[in-house]
Structure formats: C-alpha cells, structure tokens
Amino acid sequence: MTEEWIPPEGSWASSAARRRNMQAIRSRDTKPEQLIRRLVHAKGLRYRVAAKPLPGFRRTADIVFRPAKVAVFIDGCYWHGCPEHYVAPKTNPGYWSGKVAGNVARDRDTDQTLKEAGWTVLRFWEHESPEASADKIARTVNRLRRAGNH
C-alpha cells in the first residue's frame, strides 16, 4: 500500500500530481506565441524571442524589437488574470489567487518600467485573434521605424 503524498504546510502544490501538472505548463513558446511569431515573421519583421528588453532588467518579453523599442507580451488568461476568462482555482485558492495577483502586479510594473525607458509595450491575451495581434504588432513596429526609432 502506497502512502498518499501530503504536501508540507505552506506548500504551493495541493498534490504531487498537481505539482507535476503545473510544472509542465510552458512559460515560453506557447502555441499562441508561436502562431503570432509565425504571422509577424511572414510580414517580414525580425525579432528576438524571450529576450530582456533592457540590460540588467530581470524580466523577458515574448517578442522584442530592439531598434524600434517594442516589447510584446502574449499573456495566458489564467496566469495573468484575464478579466474575461480567469476562474479562481478550487484547490489551494489562497496560494494560486495570490500568485496570479502577483503576476498582474509584476506585469503593471514591467509595463511602467519599459514605458519610462522609452519602450512601447504591446500586450495580448492568448484568446485574442493571432491575425489581429500580428497586424497590430506590424503596424506599431513599422510606424516607429518610419518615425526614426530604426
């Protein structure tokens, strides 16, 4: 008979299976990111993937156009607290809701830091149209390049 795994007090996972599941979730190269990157690339734009926009800045953007100073983030509905799709978890809600609230606060801080450094920040939800997102990215990057930001 195998003992059931019981997480230590204050542990983030409610079970070993939940822990494995949460660890398997990608933080980069998600399907929405890959699709948007492919569409942006087809428009002739070149970019950096999962790059730090600013030297010494510990956070990465999903897509970075350094000369134009555009940072693109494709946010997952659960992890970034989408107002349309976020549903609080039933297990260990205190931990997970706090984690998501921390992610949202970090996102706002990231936006503010980049804007203060002269960057344009574009954020898209994973449920948004990839085609519309790619179009907005291309329009923004091309407009900034024409304006002299390379």
- Chain centroid, CA 43 distance in Å: 22
| DSSP codes, 84-133 | TT----SSSHHHHHHHHHHHHHHHHHHHHHHHHTT-EEEEEETTS-HHHH
Task: Tally the C-alpha atoms within 13 A of residue 55's C-alpha that lie toward its C-beta.
Answer: 0
Domain residue ranges in the chain: 27-149
**Is residue 33's pLDDT more than 50?**
yes
For domain 27-149, give the CATH number: 3.40.960.10
Q: What is the model's pTM? A: 0.81
Question: For 67-110, how does the pLDDT look when each residue is reduced to its tens digit (9 = 90+)?
Answer: 999 999 999 998 899 999 988 888 888 888 899 999 999 999 99
Residue with tokens 């948007």: 36
- Chain centroid, CA 86 distance in Å: 15
Spatial CA neighbour of 75 closest among 89, 59, 91: 59
